[in-house]
Amino acid sequence: MIPTSKNMKGEYGKIRYSSWNFIQDILFFVINYFFSFPENVKTTLQSILYLRRDPRPAVDSFPLKIVNTKDLHAFELDQDPFSEFCDDHLQIDEPQETKTDSIPVVHTPTPCKIPDRYKPLVLPSVLHAFPKNYDLYLPRFDGECKNVNAEQHVQNFETFLDLFEVDDEDVSMRLFALSLQAEVKSWFKALPDASISDFQQFVKVFLDRWMIGQNLSLIVEEYNQLKRLPGETVQQFSARFNQVYYSIPVDIRPTPRSALLHYPGAFDPEMEFQLREKDIATLHEMQNRAVNVEAHLLI
């Protein structure tokens, strides 16, 4: 059994040595004072002896503690200097780093694709959520109910916005679009893409078309004089044609067959001939063919 230190440091500030360092010092003393080696040999032996110094303090002058020799023997066989040979009371726990500055987690809304039913509207890339259970109280307008005209529908809708405390512009515009039904909904979907930029403009466009007392003769005259403008694409003209066509009240609106015959006359003679060459059943098909015809003529 070999006496070793009990504490990290001896009493009265005495310096502690590890067992291995203590043995190194004894061997150094023996080499220097009991053997007559040449100076260069002594230097070599000392260099080899001190190649490895045990950094662990283990032996003190006082007080002493008994340590099992087999633990010391394991250490002397070049075991890990920080193995179980160290007493528990000699192990120093290194302070763990603690985070003092915490970075708050920011949840960024993900941009979403704007649905096709809102194409006439100019909407932000990130849409606000609808109020809960909005569909139970959302007023509707189809243009056919005699009890509710366009002005009353706008008033009812604004009351609905106040009731649900809707303040976001994109929510107001989308909800107003959802409030339109039947022919009014078709009129809205036929409006040019991104033609309505805010709620007030939406209301104005809506009232201009559906408010009772408007001059219907002006709408019919505009429809009869529809022509494709210089620099206007086929898609742009088709959207404008649909807007004017569906703005005519149902009871005086030309039939779909009449609109199908009227549409080609808005183009130049060559394109009009190409459109009338084939028998087409619907206005939608005619407008799609107009896009293909123009692309073929431009080749």
- Is the same domain home to 54 and 68? yes
For residue 146, the 8-state DSSP code is T
Nearest-angstrom CA–CA distance, 100 and 121: 48
The lowest-confidence range among 84-93, 206-215, 287-296 is 84-93
Q: How many residues does the chain have?
A: 299
Read off the pLDDT band of 221 (50, 70, 90). Answer: confident
Full residue range of the structural domain in which residue 292 is found: 215-299
Residue 266 is part of a domain; what is its CATH number?
A: 1.10.1200
30 or 14, which is more confident: 30
| % of the chain with per-residue pLDDT over 90 | 30
Does residue 6 fall inside a structural domain? yes
Q: How far is CA 249 from the centre of its chain?
A: 44
- Is the same domain home to 74 and 130? no
On the question of pLDDT at 21 being above 80, the answer is: no
The lowest-confidence range among 61-70, 101-110, 207-216 is 61-70
145-203 tens-digit pLDDT = 767 888 899 999 999 999 999 999 999 999 999 999 998 999 999 898 889 999 999 99
The CA radius of gyration of the chain, in Å to the nearest whole number, is 46
Whole-number pLDDT of residue 38:
74
Does residue 99 fall inside a structural domain? no
Nearest-angstrom CA–CA distance, 230 and 59: 101
Question: What domain count does the chain have?
Answer: 3
Cα→Cα distances 246→133, 163, 256, Å: 31, 32, 11
223: which 2 tokens? 């429809």
pTM: 0.42
Cα→Cα distances 216→58, 141, 189, 253, 260, Å: 106, 20, 21, 10, 21
| Average pLDDT of every residue of the chain | 75
Domain end call among 213, 228, 248: 213
